[in-house]
Amino acid sequence: MKSIITNTVKITVAAALAILCAQALKLDFAVSAGIVAILSVQPTKKETLRTALARLLAFVLALVISITLFNLLGFTIPVFFLYLLIFILICQWRKWISAMAMDSVLISHFLSFGKTGPAEIKNEVLLFVLGVGFGILVNLLLHKKTNYIEELKNQTDDKIKLALHRMALRIQNPALADYDGSCFKQLNQSLFTAKKQAEENYNNQFSKKDTFDSRYLEMREKQTKILYEMFKAARALGTIPATAGLLSDFLEKVSNEYHKDNDVKALLEELALIHDKMKAHPLPQTRTEFEDRANLFILMERLKEFLQIKHDFMIAQNTKSTLQ
């Protein structure tokens, strides 16, 4: 909804400014400048500029074709149809599909003028420049949604922290209510939204391309897949093994220290010590205890993978920062 409102305001402002400027310049068909502006605004700055360039080339071509045809054959509807046939054919060949309607609206004004003199051509050129210009300007002034992407990343991290916290509780309480994995649906949706926003921010950059947000979310996505494997191991527990307390306390610690700047090196070292302590415990005496200890071991191994993914990411990030 936030994105829809932002785009609505952006497009409306571009159209209004284009129309007001066209009226101030006393141009004929001033409203057309607003239509051009609406058609010129694209989801990202990069797309807006690329589309504007294609439409400029198409508009120049439209002027040449229409001026030639109207002056040779007359200012009639059949001649305009002939112009459309030629112009649309070339636009499809050059893949200027988005320019066909917009440029043809401007060219249609020549039928009303009944001539293609310097004043009429100037009128259409200014309508085009104002419309496309304000479409580009409004997009360029929209800053990268840094605060929003940080908010989305934090929401994703909070959902992962909650999953870890609930896992710590489940290990100590096989009867924990609502431990059904439904939180992963929300987590995956949060990741999807954040990745989509990161891609939009990336496409709204012109100079140096910053890929940190996308790489960060890819890292969290990998962790989420491992986290789900941890969840399945925790859910399979039917009892509380003697070693459960060690892992439960550690999971709670991971949850509390889970933030983007933690390189988790200390956590990996602590997990290795816990692994040694768990091996030192007496062997299980029953089949149930054996199975539950095995599930705890699986969970611990997946937890190591979970932390290692973050550790590798931080090493890669620090190396990249040093090289820059």
Report angle CA 120, 135, 211 to the nearest 5 degrees.
Answer: 150
Using one digit for the tens of pLDDT, what is the confidence trace for 171-204?
A: 999 888 888 888 899 999 988 888 888 877 766 6
Of 2-6, 60-64, 142-146, 190-194, give the lowest mean pLDDT range: 142-146
Of 15-19, 98-102, 136-140, give the lowest mean pLDDT range: 136-140
Using one digit for the tens of pLDDT, what is the confidence trace for 128-186?
A: 999 988 888 877 765 555 577 788 888 999 999 999 999 999 999 988 888 888 889 99
The confidence band for 241, taking pLDDT boundaries of 50, 70 and 90, is: confident
**Domain residue ranges of the chain, discontinuous segments joined by +:** 2-141, 146-323
Of 13-17, 18-22, 45-49, 207-211, give the range with the top mean pLDDT. Answer: 18-22
What would the mean pLDDT of 290-301 be, rounded to a whole number? 87
In this structure, how many other beta carbons lie within 10 angstroms of the beta carbon of residue 303?
A: 25
> CA–CA separation, 169 vs 245, rounded Å?
10
Q: Considering all CA atoms of the chain, what is the largest pairwise distance in Å, rounded to the nearest integer?
A: 100
**Average pLDDT taken over every residue of the chain:** 85
> CA–CA separation, 271 vs 311, rounded Å?
13
Work out the burial of residue 263: count CB atoms within 10 Å of its CB; fewer than 13 is exposed, 13-18 middle, 19 or more buried: middle
Q: Residue 95 carries which side chain, given as an amino acid letter?
A: K
Write out the DSSP string of 73-91: H-SSHHHHHHHHHHHHHHH
Domain boundaries 146-323, corresponding CATH code:
1.20.120.940
Locus of tokens 């089949």: 287
